Structures are given as C-alpha cells and as structure tokens.
Amino acid sequence: MSEVKPIIRIKKLLGAFLDDVSNGERLYLIALTMYLIAGYSDTTMFDRWMLVVRIFKYFPLLILCVKFVFFDRYKVKEFFLKVFILAVGSIVMLKAGSEASRAMYCCYFLATAKNVRFTRILECFVLVNIAYIAVTLFACNFDMVVNLIYKTSRSGRYVWRQSFGFIFPTDAAAHFLYLTMSVFYLFRERIKWYVCMLAILIQIPVFVLSYTRATMYGMIIFCLGFMLLKVYDDQYKKDLKGRYTDRSVSVLFRWFMLLCAVLMTTLTLLFDYENKFMVQLNQWLSTRLNLGKAGIENYGISLLGNNVDFIGAGGTLKQSPDYNFVDCSYLYSAIKYGMLYLLIIVAAYIFACYRYKRDVFFILCVMVISIHSMVEHHLMDLTYAIFLLAATSVSDQGGEKFGTVADPVV
C-alpha cells in the first residue's frame, strides 16, 4: 500500500501540470522559437546544414504534438476541425516534398495555438526577428557571410541590389516590413505619428540599396495608414474623455485578403501578350503575370499539392535559364500546396479579422499582408506572416481571457 501512494501523488502532480494552460503556452513558444530560428536560417547565407538548424527544424513538430495531445482540451467540433487542419498540413508535406515543411508548420502552429496568447506570440516573433536580423547584418558587415549583390535590369537601366546577408534582397526587405508591423501593433497605444515617419525614412536607404519596390510600397501604405488611424484614434479618445473603444470596420475589410487573391488570380489568367495594357502591367509587376500563368498551365492546381520544383534567384548570383518562380503567394500556394491548403490559410485570416473586427490596427496589418502577398511569396511562411496565428490563439478582444477552458470534451 505504501508503494501505491507515491504513484498516486505523481499522477496528481502530473495532472496539475497538464491542467495549467501556462505550461502548454510555454511549450508552444519554445516550439515557435525553434522554428523561427530554423526558418530564418533558410533565408540567410549562413550554413543551412548546421546541426542546431537541423534539430530546430523538426523538433518543434514533436513539441506541438505533445501540446495537442496532453495539454489542449477541445469540444468535439473544434477537435475534428483541428485534426482536419493537421491532416491537411501533413498530406501537403508528403505530396509537395520537404520544401513544403513551412506549409505544414503553418497548419500545425495554427491548430495548436489554443490557450496561447497572441501578444506572447508576437513578442516571441519580434525578439527572435530582431536578434536574427542583427546577427545577420553584423556577420555581413564583417564578411562572415556573403552579401550577394544582384545586377537587375529595370526600365532600360541596370540597378544593383544588395541582400545584406540574406539569400535575396526581397527576403531582407520583407523581414523588415513584417517586423515593423509586429512592433507597431504590439505598441500601438504608445507609437506616435512621427515614429511612422521615421520608419518611412529608414525605408528609403533600404530601397536605394536593395531596390525592393513591393516592400517599399507596403511600408508606405502601412505607415501612412497607421498615422491616419492614430490621429483618428486620438481624436476618438478625446471625444469620449479618455474612454477607449475601437470602432467596427466594414465587412469588406474582413474579406480583403480573399478579394486580393481573386484579383491577382484573375489578372494572371487574363494575361495575354497581345493585350498592350496587360503587357505593360506585367512589366511593372516584374513579369509576375506571365510567370504565374505559365505555372498554372505547366503544373495545374491540385487539391492537396504538387511536388513542383520552383526555381528562383535566391542564394546565388547565377541566373538559371529554367527560372520559373511564382512570386504571388496565392498562386504559389495553390500550385505547390493545393487549393485546400490555400482556402484554410485565407479562411484563417478572414476569421482572425472577424475576431479582431473592432481592432482597426489589426485589420490594417492584414490588409498590408494581403496586398504584399499579391507580389511576394511570404504568406505561407510564419517567419514573416505571423499574424495568421491570431485566428486560433487567445485574443484580448471581446473580453476573452487567458486560461479559461469552456466545457472540454476531447
């Protein structure tokens, strides 16, 4: 009988540990940190085959599974929805190859974000992002990693594009854009209009050195939009004598990402070399329309992904004659990861906008991500588009509280 009591105590202790949602949150953030470190290594010129990177790339999968099985509690419908998302991510990974691990992790982190505060996710993202960018720029400045400088023809002239230790200039600039949005959103109550102007001014030398038009436009749209919202927000609080309440936004903005996906897909399908307007638009978009249409015609769009080898220009100065990279996130995802995966991601953003429907700053971030994803391929990568996880994590909107579990069944 004396031997049984210690076992009972251990079970009770373990049960208390598993019932504490903060422990599940810590596991999730550890997995996210490891994934972000491994993910950033894929976008820099550091040695991608370091042992720590290989471990960090797949160990988070085990951690997320442990959290899902032992720490999370679900109602039946919620449970089967999360299992469906996990299954889609796993099948896409098997069908589309090892490069689809980013798509798989999007599904896994999305499905296991229960009882994890979104503010903690953003804080983790910002800290890892700042640290990795700082290390990369330091290493690049002291020739510890290669600073690839690309020569590109634009409007009949050649421009030099620095990558600052990343595999391509657009990757470096996109990291800066998504980091800026995350920092601004976290400190949206404190940031003043002149901070937005400073961010735009910082973007000028980044653009001059890297010639990343899409990110520059995205940064300008975000900062100007943030400034306008801050002015309107300050006036709103003043009118209410300090009582802060966010406003409802139009249903149109909640569906903005879907509209962007439909618009870019339509333009791509309608592209024709005999149409002068489409040819001019294609040139302004750096041939993204004809490359997207070629991708659809050559590989098609499946339900759960294709093992497509998209050949881009990152990581080397040698331009491949077989270049076929599709930059549009919506088309890239539909071709390589499948239409079902794309629908899950877009639906998650729509649901996140519904949850944050009174948070105009969050809606602004998603709108900029939606526009940027029309010409860049970072939507399915959590090392950039971390706002995806707002769909299933704990929100501070509508009185939602951390640590509350409503009638768990599974």
Any residues with CB less than 8 A from the CB of 48 and at least 6 apart, and which? 41, 42
CA 9, CA 5: separation in Å to the nearest integer? Answer: 6
Domain boundaries, the chain: 120-245, 248-410
Q: Which of 269, 258, 237, 225 is nearest to 360 (CA)?
A: 225
Residues 6+ apart with CB under 8 A from 176: 133, 203, 206, 215, 219
Q: Which amino acid is at 287?
A: T
Instruction: Give φ, ψ of 161 to 5 degrees.
Output: -125, 115
Given a contact cutoff of 8 angstroms between Cβ atoms, the answer to whether 394 and 241 are in contact is: no
Which distant-in-sequence residues (6+ apart) come within 8 Å of 387 by Cβ?
A: 181, 182, 349, 352, 362, 365, 366, 369
**Which pTM does this prediction carry?**
0.89
Q: 7, 67, 3, 6: which is closest to 31 by C-alpha?
A: 67
pLDDT of residue 252: 72
Q: How many CB atoms lie within 10 A of CB 46?
A: 21
Q: Would you state the pLDDT for residue 107?
A: 94
Tokens of 341: 């995966």
Q: How far apart are CA 166 and CA 77, in angstroms?
A: 43
- List C-alpha distances in Å: 171 to 20, 29, 99, 234: 38, 24, 17, 35
3-class DSSP string for the chain:
CCCHHHHHHHHHHHHHHHHCHHHHHHHHHHHHHHHHHHHHHCCECCCCCCHHHHHHHHHHHHHHHHHHHHHCCCCHHHHHHHHHHHHHHHHHHHHHCHHHHHHHHHHHHHHCCCCCEHHHHHHHHHHHHHHHHHHHHHHHHCCCCCCCEEEEEECCEEEEEECCCECCHHHHHHHHHHHHHHHHHHCCCCCCHHHHHHHHHHHHHHHHHHCCHHHHHHHHHHHHHHHHHHHHHHHHHHHCCCCCCCCCCCHHHHCHHHHHHHHHHHHHHHCCCCCHHHHHHHHHCCCHHHHHHHHHHHHCCCCCCCCCCCCCCCCCCCCCCCCCCCCCHHHHHHHHHCHHHHHHHHHHHHHHHHHCCCCHHHHHHHHHHHHHCCCCCCCCCCCCCHHHHHHCCECCCCCCCCCCCCCCCC
Tens of pLDDT along the chain (410 residues)? 444 556 456 546 666 666 777 888 999 999 999 999 888 888 888 765 566 666 777 889 999 998 998 888 888 899 999 999 999 999 999 988 777 888 999 999 999 999 999 999 999 999 999 998 998 889 888 888 888 888 877 666 778 888 888 888 888 889 999 999 999 999 988 888 888 888 888 888 888 888 888 888 999 999 999 988 887 766 655 554 444 444 545 567 889 999 999 999 999 999 999 889 999 999 888 889 999 999 999 998 988 888 888 888 777 777 777 888 899 999 999 999 999 999 999 999 999 999 998 888 999 999 999 999 999 999 999 999 999 999 999 887 655 555 554 445 45
> Per the structure block, which two tokens stand in for 243?
């009582």
Asked if residue 365 lies in contact with residue 387, where contact means CB atoms within 8 angstroms, the answer is: yes
Give CA–CA dist 242/282, Å, rounded: 49
